[in-house]
Amino acid sequence: MSAHKARRVVDQIRGRSYEETLMILELMPYRACYPIFKLVYSAAANASHNMGFNEADLVISKAEVNEGITVKKLKPRARGRGYPIKRSTCHITIVLKNTSPDLYYDDYGPRFLKIS
């Protein structure tokens, strides 16, 4: 999909919580919502599995869409002519941030803060 179409969706979810983002992406009528939904879901699964974050505490801190390469093809037309087709692509970046105050992270993974 083009970067312009993906930006229209990503602008709506930037800065929102993970659960709210999934609701928004399920209800929006754009075709770009499904790939972005899969990307956010995968990012949350990675944060949960690799870093030990709770998915309820995640917030989308950074979401950006950059243009990718343009795939150029020729479509056959009448009288042996070729009609050029330009298919645009994009790179979508989603960064999640944990908002839970009771954990800190070091080289060994999550640790609980001791409050005395």
Nearest-5° angle of CA 36, CA 39, CA 40? 90
Is residue 52 a contact partner of residue 110, using CB atoms and an 8 Å limit? yes
Domain of residue 93, residue span: 3-112
Return the percent helix, strand and coil in the chain, to nearest 5: 40, 40, 20
Q: Whole-prediction pTM value?
A: 0.81
Task: Give the pLDDT confidence score for residue 100 in this predicted structure.
Answer: 76
Phi-psi region of 15 (alpha: psi -120 to 50; beta: other; left: phi over 0): left
Helix axes 18-27, 3-13, angle to 10 degrees: 130
Phi, psi of 9 (to 5 degrees): -85, -45
Per-residue pLDDT of the chain (116 residues; tens, 9 = 90+): 999 999 999 999 999 999 999 999 999 999 999 999 999 999 999 988 888 888 999 999 999 999 999 999 999 999 999 999 999 999 999 999 888 766 555 556 555 554 43
Instruction: Say which amino acid occupies 115.
Output: I
- How many domains would you assign to the chain? 1
Look up the CATH number of the domain holding residue 57.
Answer: 3.90.470.10
Task: Give the pLDDT confidence score for residue 116 in this predicted structure.
Answer: 38
DSSP 30-69: -TTHHHHHHHHHHHHHHIIIII---GGGEEEEEEEEEEEE
17: DSSP letter: B
Task: Give the pLDDT confidence score for residue 63 in this predicted structure.
Answer: 94
